[in-house]
Structure 1
């Protein structure tokens, strides 16, 4: 099966990722697992570029983009993937509004620091949502992480700039 068809099947819950995990399996994993495993985020939030960290992850092709555009259930499933990651980041979503959970703190949420792999994940999520025809949600997530990261004063200017530029050229 071609990579784009594997990714579509994965998102529809009809096929596994390269490790044999179904999307529902990943959704059910613990925050510890989400933090320490690095080969799932590319499947949940595909982008056109090949991952430097997961050579087995398919890329977002025009075929996959078209599938997300045509299939509301794929977009809803990506929204569920976002909700899983929001919870991991100490955030929550109500419709297209994203806010901090009451327990969000610098000491327990590792993305609230100067740098790290979670900042790369955030950039990927913003871009993937937009490319998968969820620009409004991408903008809401972008605003939330920039606002919260700035408010806590611990996220580097470099990361904030990447997040600001992640939607460059995307329609509103």
Structure 2
């Protein structure tokens, strides 16, 4: 293992900031309003190998980082904190690897239950990132929860459901 962690690993360990000078603990503490309206943090919390057209600032998840996540349980634990922050934002809650709806979940306040929107892409990213960072059970739990809750309590499009199902495949 290299002595100099990559920017992504250093960020996750709380040793460095993201491209905007934010530490991971700062992001975890931000409001749901901020999480909804800011678009350049999710790539740091849930990295994937692809870089989107609009987020060239974002770190790519390489095999190097995947290996570190595999070897470092403290890092996986920190990603579970990131997951819990986003679950709270989405009106969901986690107990171990069981993800359920909070009693307060509703279509008015939790817009991911509607047809489209950037939160559907965020959910796909979170599922994929968890799977790639050796948190497969959580990736599957989230996928199962959003597919079930999105169809039972929401009006999520078939396309989004399909993305969430696909997101888990390597």
Tell me which interval the TM-score lies in, with the shorter structure as reference length.
over 0.9
- 2-structure distance, mates of 1:51, 1:45: 13
In structure 2, the residue matched to 1:67 is 68
Alignment of 1:40-51 (within 5 A): 40-51=41-52
TM-score norm. by structure 1 comes to 0.94
Deviation string 1:30-77 (CA, Å, 9 cap, x unpaired) is: 000000000000000000001223221110001110110010010000
What do the CA deviations read for 1:8-42 (whole angstroms, capped 9, x no partner)? Answer: 00001110000000000000000000000000000
In the alignment, the residues of structure 1 paired with residue 134 and residue 120 of structure 2 have an alpha-carbon distance, to the nearest angstrom, of: 22
- In structure 2, the partner of 1:27 is 28
Q: What secondary structure is seen at the aligned counterpart in 1 of 2:17?
A: coil
2:17 corresponds in structure 1 to 16
Q: Which residue of 2 aligns with 1:147?
A: 148
Specify the SS of the correspondent of 2:150. Answer: helix
In the other structure, the counterpart of 1:168 is: 169
* Structure 2: tracts of 5 or more residues without a match: none
Cα pair 1:42 1:51 within 8 Å, conserved: no
Distance 2:33 2:135 in 1: 28
Distance across 2 between alignment mates of 1:73 and 1:95: 16
User: Structure 1 stretches (4+) deviating beyond 6 angstroms?
Assistant: none
Q: Contact 2:107–2:154 at 8 Å: present in 1 too?
A: no
Does the CA-based 8 Å contact 2:76-2:133 persist in structure 1? yes
Counterpart of 1:135 in structure 2 is: 136
How far has the Cα of 1:111 moved from its partner? 0.5
Residue 87 of structure 2 corresponds to residue 103 of structure 1: no
Instruction: Indicate the larger mover: 18-27 or 51-60.
Output: 51-60
| CA distance in structure 2 between the aligned counterparts of 1:106 and 1:16, rounded to whole angstroms | 34
Question: Structure 2-normalised TM-score?
Answer: 0.96
Structure 2 Cα separation of the partners of residues 87 and 153 of structure 1: 17
Query: Matched residues in 2 for 1:57 and 1:38: separation?
Result: 11
In the comparison of the two structures, how many residue pairs are matched? Answer: 166
